[in-house]
Structure 1
Amino acid sequence: MPVRELVPKVHVEPPATHKPTGRKTVIRALTNTGIGAAAFLITCLSLRVVLPFPEIDDGVSQKFRFFATHKDEFDTLFLGSSRVYFQISPAIFDHVTRESGLPTHTFNFGIGGMYLPETSYLLEQILNLKPRNLKWVFIEYDELQTKWSPENQTSRRALYWADWKRVSLLLRKLTDAGTDPLWLPSPGKIRDIVLRQKDEKNTRDLLTFYATQFERNYTNVSRGADVLDFFLRRDTKERRAKYLGAASDGYVSRPNRMSPNQVAAYERGLAAMAQTDARALSPYTMAAYRQCAQEVRKIGAAPIFLITPSITQINVATDSAGLTGVVMAFNNPRTYPSLYRSSVHRDGQHLTQSGAEEFTRIVAANFVELARAGGIK
């Protein structure tokens, strides 16, 4: 009879029940989220460093690329809106300064519709090119703009400059938060914005718009096409000439004149504006111009702020308190009557070709006089 071998029974412990550790799960989830967000942010910032200057309409890219190629050839730069673009002739400016014994080589970086804050961003990009011979930088002097027309809000022009330095200043102005390091929005202003009352019916939409633009800019929205443009060089000689002008100095003339009806409206507007009180620029605008002046001085150049002969600028105050730069103002019809004749204006804000040439000569003569007197430092 076979002998059965006794096998001892083995007691197998059931697997331990894992109790849910809610706190650890939350911490792990938050950690992973933080790592993912940080990686995303670092990737976005790294792409901003290596991506080429974006392809922007209205001649921004054409002028930037041209200046980048020829940056060390110029010692004088004009930056501003169409009131600079179509009204400062570098050829005439350089002729006057040369004849006066203070030769310059000038480039007009005016862009239609360009005001603060876009101006300050583009200025910094130009200065980051490190132009070795730049001595004088003229910057158009006007109020910080907070409004973009609905039809332009989807354009690249409304996006490429929207970094924190620019957007934070806009948000401060829209909420009346002051320019001190500590943000202190006005309670009354916030109430009016939330309730869309008084003059703040569209402010909430603007706050949302600029916050969204900041996010889209830093996540490099629409930048893929810029890489293709950079390598394929789709720009044409004709397109560059359209924005750089016949002499490739950035100036394009506009010879149009006003109709009799427009002349009558201009004369009425001129008379009305001449009776208004001086309009001081906001502290937010002054903060932006102080930043501009600081950036210009970092490369050893002198900032000069320019007020052009426009009806809308007649009442702009010329007090430059706090600015480390001189203000050259041509917004007084009594001092410069020749710049306010209807025959030299093609509308309330812009001069004809002959008016622009006369304006350029006057600016150059005043510049030489100030430089010789030590007024530009």
Structure 2
Amino acid sequence: MQDIAEQLLAWHSSGRAFAVATVVGVSGSAPRDPGAALAVDASGEAIGSVSGGCVEGAVYALCEEAIASGCPTLERFGYSDEDAFAVGLTCGGLLDVFVHPVVPGADPGLDAAVTYIASGTPVALARVIEGPAGLLGATVAVTADTHHGSLSPAPCTTAALERAAVTEARAMLDAGRTGRLVLGLDGRPCDDAGQGTVTFFVESHVPAPRMLVFGAIDFAAAVVRIGKFLGYHVTVCDARPVFATERRFPEADEVVVDWPHRYLDTQLDRVDGRTVLCVLTHDAKFDIPLLERALRLPVAYIGAMGSRRTHQDRNTRLREVGLTEAEISRLRSPIGLDLGARTPEETAVSVAAEIIAHRRGGSCLPLSTATGPIHHDRDHPAPPPPTEARHAA
């Protein structure tokens, strides 16, 4: 919902009713991740996407029905690759979509969530997508220190259920996680949905993840562009003011003139498990103090540019300043995947590909050399390639 938040706020502020269709579950080759959303207003205008085009027409119709009836609904699209065309999901897999009508002023939880998301304030939106009659669509918007909305109008609701939903949603917000949450009516966590349980879909809306690019070189400009394309908040940092200028990096969110390690020291409260660091200076006087700190931080990815010889020399120097082998092993160096890249733009694609593969648990092999699901994550890692492909590699 975050990518259509600005338009939703405009509709909401004008008092216009609308419906939001949100992907709340995927399986197999489904095209979009949970949290992807399509919205339709009372005049028929549509924004966003839940499937990249596969079932947009059917979901659009569901949104119109929800606006007219005022009732939320949970719909499943797709059953198998064999009959995917028959049900509309052309890429196979399964796609669960929750359609929720929104009338401005009628639901404090939804009202607060729309405002928080549009303003960039971190918020977890917990909505009931399965459960007893009267509870479907109940919404609570949870921030770090408060929450809005309530489950209490439903007769089956207990105070323990609402407290548990708020507590669990806040924990998911802290981790930046989006997904399903199943609780018993007494608030106890459950492994599976069933009789006497309530299933929430919790969307964590947090600021864009950060990409810190150290080294204001020509390759950095291309990495900045692809970082923005991937949705990162991108900062360029270099100690040399003649190179670190906004004119050279117009697409960066920030351009900082400072020694890389000194700048990183000022950002410790702003880096997290989604932050990626691209060290492109390949100069020991910049790299070693920076990497000595960075490799001890709980960030998602750290890559450093340089030749094989530079890499070996860098590792030796990192050992000399006290880093352990486990800490050094976190460094992706030379940075990027072996794509045969030559130009800055090709190199940026190589770097981005490695970041995505590291984040999603990809094998970095051509899809044509492997079998099994195309879409996967760290909970469902990529299957190994066939024996002949492994031998070729």
TM normalised by structure 2 equals 0.22
TM normalised by structure 1 equals 0.22
Which structure carries more relative contact order (alpha carbon 8 Å, separation 6+)? 1
Q: By percentage of residues, which structure has more helix? A: 1
Larger radius of gyration: 1
Q: By percentage of residues, which structure has more strand? A: 2
